[in-house]
Structures are given as C-alpha cells and as structure tokens.
C-alpha cells in the first residue's frame, strides 16, 4: 500500500495527519448511561437535540477535534431539520451522519428490510428514505445503516432470501442518495440475533457495497468482531478497496461493551486511518451503546424519574448496541 504525502517516511507528516483527525460525536453519548440492567439518571442530561448539540459544542471547545455530531432518527426527531442544522452551525459544529433506526419497533421482531413480511420491509425502507430526506435538510454527507436483522433458530427463515431482500432495500436507498452523499453500512458479528446475523462481517458488507457503487462504504465498529480478529487487517483491506467509510470506536473488552469512556477500540485502527490521509472522518466515539432515555427529562429536576412511570429494565433505553 502506498502512503500519500510520504506518511510512511516523515514523522512530521504523521503528526499532522493525527492533528487533523476529526472525531464525530454521537448525540446519544450525552444521554443517561447504563446497561441492560439499569439506566442511571444523571443531572443535566440533555432533553432534546438542541441541548445535545450544546453539550457537543462544549466537547469541541475543549478538544478541538469534534466538530460534528451524528444524529439518530427517531431519537433526535425535530419538526425542522434545517433549523436544527442552522442552530448547530451557529454554535460552531455541524450535523454529521444520520443514523437510521429499524430495530426498536415491535414490527421488527423478525427483522426490518430482511423481514419476510413485505409490509414491514416497506415500513423499514420508508424510514431509510426519510433519513435521506433529513440529510438533504441538514446537509449531512453520510447515512449510517446498522441492521439488527437476523435469525435466532436454524430454519427460521431462508438465509439467501434475506440477503436478496437486504440487497433490494439497499439498492433503493442508494438510488435515492444525492450528489456527494454516502451510505455507510455497518456490520456486527452478533446481537440481537444469535443464530444468523444478516450483516455479520466486513465481507458481507463489502459485497453489498461493491454491488451498489462507490458511495456505499463499510463502517468498522471496533467492538463488532469475534475475539482475536485482526481488525488492522480488515482496515487495510477496506482501504485497499477504497471502501473504508469510517469507524465506530466501541470497546470490546468482552463483547461490544459500548462503553462511552475509556474504551480501547481505536488504538489499533486509527494509525492506519491516519496513514490513508483520507481526512480522518470517523463516525463516532463511544459507539452506539450509550444508553439513554428517549423521553426528554428536565435538565434540572430528578434525572432518574421516568416520565411515563415505566420501570421495566431497559424499557426506555436508547442506543442498545449498535
């Protein structure tokens, strides 16, 4: 692999590349955090995307490396996305990737775009297309797709037919992308399905992206591999094929731990990314597993209270493992 700008010979160029590296914050990183067992309330948790952006502005102020905030639909649903983008721009950051959510509705029990039920597939596709509409309004470059689709038992569904349904939905979304927009496809070995996952690995993601075109790129989530997998090799292969779309820096001390602080994920992968000179536009830090409540809470009052009075474990959790 050749390296641009002499990065393999010039330590100063490597330092410059790292200095220019930017990390996009996920809006849900600012929500309440916890696990499947308990979401812990915190004082001053942001109530809406405007307040999440205010927190992201503070991070960028102190670090200088986080000039954008990814949003997640519907967690960050607002009436006017152009106004949201204008507001964040006025504070010095931009709206980054738009993350779709086709995993938390009851309809998606057996999958979203891979579901055997055509009605549910159509619902999921409509949501993905809505996310591209939102990108148009916010000026976002990237649509980020992670699917919880899969099966839990042998014989539950036709594995190949599910791939066909996936390819069909991806093609429809790809055709909807505007100039300069990208589709980022994220893979994950397991969870929430445990027998088959419809996008389990970089090979599957790359096959789909290659079939679509150059604006379809693969996201490497550092928490989404089996133990012992050489992530640097995957990064090198995706760079070589021109399909490295970005990273999610989830930790994997055990298995996609989704820690938002102190994760070890990016350490092996980032130097390769910097070497590429691609601009270092990563998708998220802390990953998708920052658990938060979708119902906004008052910033100053009782952050632990659930406005709907629902105390079932995880029932109001956001961002479980993406």
> Which residues are at the interface with Mn ion (CB under 5 A)?
221, 248, 287-288
Smallest distance, Mn ion to C-beta of residue 255, A: 13
∠ CA 316-319-135 to the nearest 5 degrees?
120
Q: Phi, psi (5° rounding) for residue 308?
A: -95, 0
Which lies closer to Mn ion via its Cβ, residue 68 or residue 297? 68
Smallest distance, Mn ion to C-beta of residue 258, A: 9
Helix (H) or strand (E) holding 172: helix 159-176
Q: What is the chain's Cα-based Rg?
A: 19
Smallest distance, Mn ion to C-beta of residue 155, A: 29
CA distances from 48 to 39, 101, 205, 266, 298 (A): 18, 17, 32, 28, 10
Sign of CA pseudo-dihedral 221, 179, 89, 275:
positive
Q: Which residue number is nearest to Mn ion in terms of Cβ?
A: 248
CB 200 within 8 A of CB 190: yes
Which lies closer to Mn ion via its Cβ, residue 141 or residue 252? 252
Q: Half-sphere exposure of residue 121, counting CA atoms within 13 Å on the CB side?
A: 18
CB 98 within 8 A of CB 138: yes
Q: What's the distance, CA 24 to chain centroid?
A: 10
Phi-psi region of 173 (alpha: psi -120 to 50; beta: other; left: phi over 0): alpha
Which lies closer to Mn ion via its Cβ, residue 108 or residue 187? 187
Smallest distance, Mn ion to C-beta of residue 83, A: 28
CA distances from 247 to 109, 118, 242, 313 (A): 27, 32, 14, 30
Smallest distance, Mn ion to C-beta of residue 194, A: 18
Which lies closer to Mn ion via its Cβ, residue 157 or residue 248? 248
CB 250 within 8 A of CB 221: yes
Smallest distance, Mn ion to C-beta of residue 219, A: 7
Which lies closer to Mn ion via its Cβ, residue 217 or residue 297? 217
Which lies closer to Mn ion via its Cβ, residue 166 or residue 219? 219
Which lies closer to Mn ion via its Cβ, residue 7 or residue 145? 145
Q: How far apart are CA 289 and CA 275, in angstroms?
A: 28
Which lies closer to Mn ion via its Cβ, residue 67 or residue 287? 287
Smallest distance, Mn ion to C-beta of residue 247, A: 9
Smallest distance, Mn ion to C-beta of residue 24, A: 12
């Amino acid at each position: 692999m050749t390296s641009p700008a002499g990065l393999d010979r010039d330590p100063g160029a490597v330092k410059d590349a790292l200095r220019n590296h930017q990390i996009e914050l996920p809006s849900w990183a600012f929500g309440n955090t916890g696990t499947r067992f308990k979401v812990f309330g915190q004082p001053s948790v942001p109530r809406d995307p405007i307040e999440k952006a205010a927190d992201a502005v503070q991070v960028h102020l102190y670090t200088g490396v986080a000039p954008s905030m990814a949003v997640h639909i519907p967690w960050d649903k607002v009436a006017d996305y152009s106004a949201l983008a204008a507001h964040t721009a006025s504070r010095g950051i931009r709206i980054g990737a738009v993350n779709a959510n086709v995993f938390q509705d009851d309809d998606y029990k057996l999958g979203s775009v891979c579901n055997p039920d055509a009605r549910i597939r159509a619902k999921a596709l409509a949501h993905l297309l809505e996310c591209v509409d939102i990108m148009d309004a916010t000026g976002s470059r990237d649509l980020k797709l992670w699917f919880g689709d899969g099966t839990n038992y042998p014989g539950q569904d036709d594995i190949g037919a599910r791939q066909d349904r996936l390819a069909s939905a991806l093609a429809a979304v790809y055709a909807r992308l505007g100039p300069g927009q990208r589709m980022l496809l994220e893979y994950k070995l397991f969870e929430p399905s445990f027998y088959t996952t419809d996008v389990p690995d970089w090979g599957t993601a790359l096959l789909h992206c290659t079939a679509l075109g150059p604006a379809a790129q693969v996201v490497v989530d550092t928490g989404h591999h089996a133990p012992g997998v050489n992530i640097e090799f995957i990064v090198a292969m995706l760079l070589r094929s021109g399909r490295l779309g970005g990273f999610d820096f989830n930790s994997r001390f055990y298995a996609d731990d989704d820690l938002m602080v102190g994760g070890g994920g990016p350490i092996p992968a980032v130097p390769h990314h910097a070497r590429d000179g691609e601009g270092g536009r990563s998708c998220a830090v802390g990953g998708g597993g920052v658990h938060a409540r979708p119902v906004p809470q008052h910033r100053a009052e009782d952050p632990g209270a659930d406005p709907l009075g629902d105390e079932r474990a995880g029932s109001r959790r956001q961002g479980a493992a993406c």
